[in-house]
Amino acid sequence: MGARTTGSSAQPLHALNLIAGQWQLAGSARAGDSINPANGREIGSFAASAAADGRRAIDAARRAFECGGLARDPAQRARLLLRWADRLAGRADLAQLLTLENGKVLAQSRREISSAIARLRQDAGVLLQAAAAGDAGLAAAQPAGVVAILVAWQAPVALLVASLAPALAAGCSAVVKPARQCAQITAAVIGELAALEELPPGVVNLVSETGQEVARELVASHHVDILCFTGLQETGRKMAQAAAPSGKRLLLDLTGKSCSLVFSDIDVQAVARQLAAAALIAAGQHSSAPRRILVHASCFDTVKAALKRALGQVILGAGDRADCGLGPLIDAPALVAAGVRTERALEHCDEVVLHGRRAGGELAGGYFLSPTLVVERDCAGASSIEEVYGPFLSIGQFETDDEATAYANAMRVARSVSVWTGDAARGERLAHALCSDSILINRHDWLATGGAAPCDRIVHPGRQTRSTFADFLATPRH
């Protein structure tokens, strides 16, 4: 029942908890509503759990781990990941469910699920390769224990797999707690794993909630060994403080905003179209969506006009509409917050190129906001645009490479920076000068399609941008 949540959008969806191998209601039998952000209508329900449900899930995970779980056989763990990947690949309806619940454009949902499947197969391949090579370290490696995974709604399938795949590869057990806005897709994805006979009961548990009781239980529990969280920096800091007495390991991916540097030695028209598409991933709510675009002064007017044209032509609508380029924000509070912060940011900018507004007509029932594009001449400091989570872009200009680097580094914890240039040496040089989680050359965001030039991706030295198998061992190996 809980494992198979999809179907016709006219049929209510029901996402249950999974504890000790059993799909079940919350202990209180309470349920929360799942809402389609494209029209504000209810599409189903999910278990509205409390702290006691979280404790039962932790206890189930601990028992499964102490009974051996997946720890004994690396090849068994690899086969589990591969079979999970195959089951997900056979569920063409998962992308529709992600779009229905999350609002993403369908092409983005498909790419997110494909990325998750590729990650599962990659982690399985690492295990199989090491086992075939007789890796003594792999045979001796001990899993850390129970892992708590708090799944954010911005990219729920990708973020879930990014933590759960390496945790299972290491032999850990897990408790997954999704954000309420992604309870349905999380239950469906976990359901495909739970259906496998190779998965011992209690190794993977799922608990959803409408509030924060379960999350607080997972953060504070002395029976949880690792906590995985992707989200806002302030939330991460509070979690770190609450988790400190338990001594658990924290794998926190604290999001910032992203920016792009555009030089004149590349097809700037094509770059502008690419950046406009990337900026609208998840309606601009994803941390990797470029928020600030810095352009060489010699091509500033050209890029500004091209961005205005690309953003102005985008079609708003439900994500499953064939020509849709921008879906809704995640929920009503997000729409209100984005609208208020957009208006606040407009008061501080130098020029309003496009003024985004809430959609009316047939889209009035959904949480739609059209794109905003502004000019900011002062690029040297923090900006009010960094508070906006929605389809909002700022464009500024620079004269030199050093100036571009300084402006990008002035952003508060830039999530990623893309550098658009036809000069490979410049791209390499800037990649090592920029202070960001990741540097991308002539591309931006893994969900965006196409590219203006051959692309590469460089992870900034010393910064780790995703969890690995080694992070979930009793003694991490790096």
| pLDDT at residue 240 in the model | 93
How far apart are the C-alpha atoms of 377 and 396, rounded to whole Å? 6
| pLDDT at residue 4 in the model | 43
Highest mean pLDDT among 2-6, 34-38, 253-257, 427-431: 34-38
| Residue 385: pLDDT band with limits 50, 70, 90 | low
Residues ≥6 apart with Cβ < 8 Å to 154: 230, 282, 285, 286, 287
pLDDT surpassing 90 at residue 384: no
pLDDT surpassing 60 at residue 152: yes
Q: State pLDDT tens for residues 396-445.
A: 999 999 999 998 888 765 568 899 999 999 999 998 899 877 888 998 86
pLDDT surpassing 60 at residue 304: yes
Residues ≥6 apart with Cβ < 8 Å to 48: 26, 28, 30, 31, 32, 208, 209, 210
Out of 2-6, 35-39, 143-147, 283-287, least confident range: 2-6
Structural domains in the chain, sorted by start: 13-255 (3.40.605.10), 258-459 (3.40.309.10)
Which DSSP category does 358 fall into? Answer: B
Tell me, rounded to whole angstroms, the distance of Cα 164 from its chain centroid: 14
Residues ≥6 apart with Cβ < 8 Å to 97: 5, 6, 13, 184, 185, 188
Length in residues, the chain: 478
Residues ≥6 apart with Cβ < 8 Å to 15: 2, 5, 34, 44, 45, 46, 47, 183, 184, 186, 187, 188, 208
Task: Output 92 or 5, whichever has higher pLDDT.
Answer: 92
Written as six digits, the tokens of 336 are 């209100």
Written as six digits, the tokens of 327 are 């879906």
pLDDT surpassing 50 at residue 128: yes
Assess contact for 110 and 95: CB atoms under 8 A: yes
Phi, psi of 18 (to 5 degrees): -120, 110
Mean of the per-residue pLDDT values for the chain? Answer: 89
| Residue 35: pLDDT band with limits 50, 70, 90 | very high
Q: By CB neighbour count within 10 A (0-12 exposed, 13-18 middle, 19+ buried), where does 91 fall?
A: middle
Q: State pLDDT tens for residues 90-110.
A: 999 999 999 999 999 999 999
pTM of the model: 0.91
| Residue 251: pLDDT band with limits 50, 70, 90 | very high
How far apart are the C-alpha atoms of 232 and 241, rounded to whole Å? 15
pLDDT surpassing 70 at residue 2: no
